[in-house]
Chains A and B, each alone.
Chain A
Amino acid sequence: MSDTTQDGQVLTTQDGRPLKAALGRALFREKLRAFLLVAPLLIFILITFVAPIIDMLHRSVENSIVEETLPKTVVALQEWDSGSGDVPDEVVFAALYDDMVIAVDEKTHTRLGSRLNYEQSGISSLFRKTGRRIKRMDEGEPLKDQFLAADKKWGDVTTWQVLKQFSPSYTGGYFLNAFDAKLGPEGVELKPADERIYLFLFGRTLFLSTVITLSCLLLGYPIAFLLAALPLRTSNLLMILVLLPFWTSLLVRTSAWKVLLQQQGVINDFLVWINLISDSGRLVMINNQTGTIIAMTHILLPFMILPLYSVMKTISPTYVRAAKSLGANDWTAFWRVYFPQSVPGIGAGAVLVFILSIGYYITPELVGGTSGIFISNRIAYHISSSLNWGLAAALGTLLLVAVLVLFVVYDKIVGIDNVKLG
């Protein structure tokens, strides 16, 4: 488009200003107003959503504690060959002594000990013990011997290898850990079989979330179909029944499942009473995967029904009627005409339920026993008990990446514009 007429004259508004500038100004004002309207939400999201995620990503690789606590030692260690099999020489120990004196003064040595203990058991007490002895050490005497006398772990090459490996301010160590791997002498290798847990848990989280999503779909689809087909008055009443559990506390609902499903619980009592099972053969339905699947399907069911319902509500009954009048039987009319139109609702419900369940942690913790817990339970453990926030952040990042990848795959297969909430 051009802002000049054919004879080169600039188009102006009535009061003589160039049209382009006037339009631009009006549009800018419009844009500014729109921006100001969304600004509160934008700022809110930046602070409460984007910033924590960036912080989490940063934490999963950040490792400046070694360099900050033992600056001289880190420099001195650069000369040392960690593959040599020998403990570093006196120079490194002298640097360690200087660093430790300051660290003990500032009480940061035990903190470093806890950090490195995640990588090698025993370093925590090594630093605590050495911290207590440091004041009694004599700078004039050979320091290596004095450190070795304080704790023989200083004479262990692995202690030094760990120290050297984690001296850079950024580390991939947390991510390796999250993949059940570690840096061995020959590069990255898997941990011994009895310590591998995270990959397995990621797999189980994805598997159980899929099962939960499918069972929500199986249970939710007929209900949503019924709700959409019934007259408004009846469907509103039924809708309340769907929403009622939604309004009840999550913990109450989870505990209610405990009462129902446990071996001395209502369902087992009933089955024994009608002689379907014997008293000694009571079913184990809780503290395992079954418990997690049942309780979470129940909790997440409304998230499936609501998008399904709102999409089905918009499907005009005339299409099905037309199909039937053209000779389709009930099944064909449903499968060829109705179902394809409800797919956007399935997409929305499935994505919603899947993503919610992948990050669930309270319900699996309460009813999952050992075989029904998710990766988020381990993340929670590292946040609140072991204080290994770096590993928790790395696991959280992997979970985030997994969700994003699945989202892209979903977009490729189904198409993201095919998702509708109503």
Chain B
Amino acid sequence: MKLKTVILAGTALAFAGSAALAKDLTLVSWGGAYQSSQKNAYTDPYTAANPDVNVIWDESSAEAVAKLRAMNEAGNVTWDLVDVVASDAIRLCDEGLAMEINPDTDLAAAPDGTPASEDFGDLLVSECFIPQIVYSTTFGYRSDIDAWGGKEPTEICDIFDLETFPGKRSLEKRPINNMEWALLCDGVPKEDVYTVLETEEGQDQAFKKLDSIKDNVVWWSAGAETPQLLADKEVVIGSTYNGRLFALIEEQKQPVKMLWDAQVFDLDGWIIPAGLPEDRLAEVKKLVMYATDTQRLADQAKYISYGPARKSSAPLVGKHASLGIDMAPHMPTDPNNAKNTFLYNYEWWADYRDDIDAKFQAWLAQ
């Protein structure tokens, strides 16, 4: 059923694409608040300056990897620029579906002349990846739970403490992050997490820790679920992307607080599909050069609480465009929030994802 959808979608897109004009650019993103922050910060000013360019948005990032592969097999790639998380960018690069870039020639230097490769630094995790934002997966909790007797969770291991903090939790329905948190709270030092997780015993240890709360977990697969579950009081603590929690707390004024402890940083950014014709590629490169410069990345933070991926953008982060509050304290990278962070090991997960995911699903189904 799904395969057919992919093929049909691919065909439909192929038809849509062939009718497009030379200056149409198809950008793929996640929809929602995130996509509109990109539209506001990147493409609206760009099309204002270049009236002949027409940007078309496609909200397919969640299926981008599969769709790009289908398009590539069909020999007709209709997307020009695709927003994906870093792990997907690595996968696309490995599969030869994304184009390798040279940061210093394809991306703008910082205003003070620092080359892009230095300005982005370690965040250039793949030869194909153009980082935009740093986001984190972290926890939000309700601050009005009577059963907690006035206590509030302060550290990651409170997730596993059902006695002090009874109630349901929501966790993502995949092993990534959950396995790491479980090991951290089972006494494994941060720097050893992945070496432990590489062994059979380490995986069992993580599952055993997760077993202790399994009956109290609601598993989510879309980022919007945890905010909804928190707002409905269906869960008392839940993990999701920090921007979703910001919207819940600051825009919807729900009695929810952030637990930044052991937040897991992740990256989101662009890839350029491999095999674009010269003329389209030239247009895309112009847009990328503009949309990932220091000012544009800083501008995006006006609309959503994700940290810009350039070092030089950080001092330029200002106030929220409509709420008027300072955005810096809401960034996952803010020193107050980033006291204890966990670095996600992309390379490791690229190797072990298939294996551990099978085990995780088997564990879930038990």
Contact = CB atoms under 8 A, between A and B. Distances in A.
Contacts of A385: 65-66
Interface string B329-366: 00000000000000000010011111101110111110
A314 interface: no
A113 B358 contact: no
Given A121-B351, A383-B66, A195 B362 contact: yes
A7 interface: no
A265 B228 CA distance: 13
B91 interface: yes
Interface of B: 1-4, 6-8, 62-63, 65-66, 69, 91, 93-96, 168, 173, 204, 218-219, 221, 232-234, 347, 350-355, 357-359, 361-365
The 3 residue pairs across chains A and B that have the minimum distance between CB atoms: A110-B94, A121-B355, A370-B364
A78 interface: no
Nearest to B231: A264
Nearest to A126: B351
B1 A386 contact: no
A143 interface: no
Given A194-B362, A384-B66, A369 B218 contact: yes
A111 B221 CA distance: 27
Contact of B219 (A114, A287, A378): A287
B364 to A, nearest CB: 4
Contact of A387 (B2, B91, B219): B91
A264 B351 contact: no
B280 to A, nearest CB: 21
A370 B219 contact: yes
Contacts of A396: 3
A376 B218 CA distance: 20
Contacts of B94: 110-111, 113-114, 124, 128
A197 to B, nearest CB: 4
A381 B359 CA distance: 14
17 contacts: A52-B7, A110-B94, A110-B96, A111-B94, A121-B355, A195-B358, A195-B359, A369-B218, A370-B365, A371-B365, A379-B3, A384-B6, A384-B62, A384-B63, A387-B66, A387-B91, A389-B3
B365 A361 contact: no
Contacts of A365: 221
A139 to B, nearest CB: 25
Contacts of B93: 110
Interface string A385-416: 11111001100100000000000000000000
Given A204-B365, A384-B2, 6 more contacts: A52-B7, A200-B362, A361-B1, A383-B3, A388-B354, A392-B2
Contacts of A113: 94
A125 B63 contact: no
Contacts of B62: 384
Contacts of A373: 365
Contacts of A124: 94, 350-351
A359 interface: yes
A158 interface: no
Contacts of A384: 2, 6, 62-63, 65-66
- Among A113, A122, A387, A389, max chain B CB count under 10 A is at A387
Contacts of A265: 232
A196 interface: yes
Contacts of B204: 194
Nearest to B174: A385
Contacts of B6: 383-384
Given A264-B232, A383-B66, A387-B69, A125 B350 contact: yes
A359 B91 CA distance: 28
Contacts of A311: none
B232 A114 contact: no
Contacts of B3: 52, 56, 379, 383, 389, 392-393, 396
- Among B1, B347, B357, max chain A CB count under 10 A is at B1
A121 B347 CA distance: 12
Nearest to B97: A111
A200 B364 CA distance: 12
Interface string A363-374: 001000111010
Contact of A117 (B7, B351, B359, B364): B351
A265 B365 CA distance: 25
B66 A121 contact: no
A197 B362 contact: yes
Given A113-B94, A194-B363, A369-B218, A359 B1 contact: yes
A263 interface: yes
A107 interface: yes
A201 interface: yes
A194 B95 contact: no
Given A383-B3, A386-B357, A114 B95 contact: yes
Contacts of B96: 107-108, 110-111
- Among A48, A197, A265, max chain B CB count under 10 A is at A197
A113 B96 CA distance: 12
A380 interface: yes
Nearest to B63: A384
Given A384-B63, A387-B65, A117 B2 contact: no
Contacts of B364: 370
Contacts of A378: 361
Given A121-B351, A369-B219, A384-B65, A111 B95 contact: yes
B69 to A, nearest CB: 6
Nearest to A386: B354
Nearest to A280: B147
B63 A194 contact: no
A63 interface: no
B2 A379 contact: yes
Contacts of B63: 384
A118 interface: yes
A179 to B, nearest CB: 13
A388 B91 CA distance: 12
Interface in A122-151: 122-125, 128
Nearest to A47: B11
A350 B58 CA distance: 39
A359 B359 CA distance: 23
Nearest to B65: A387
A197 B232 contact: no
Contact of A121 (B65, B232, B352): B352
Contacts of A393: 3
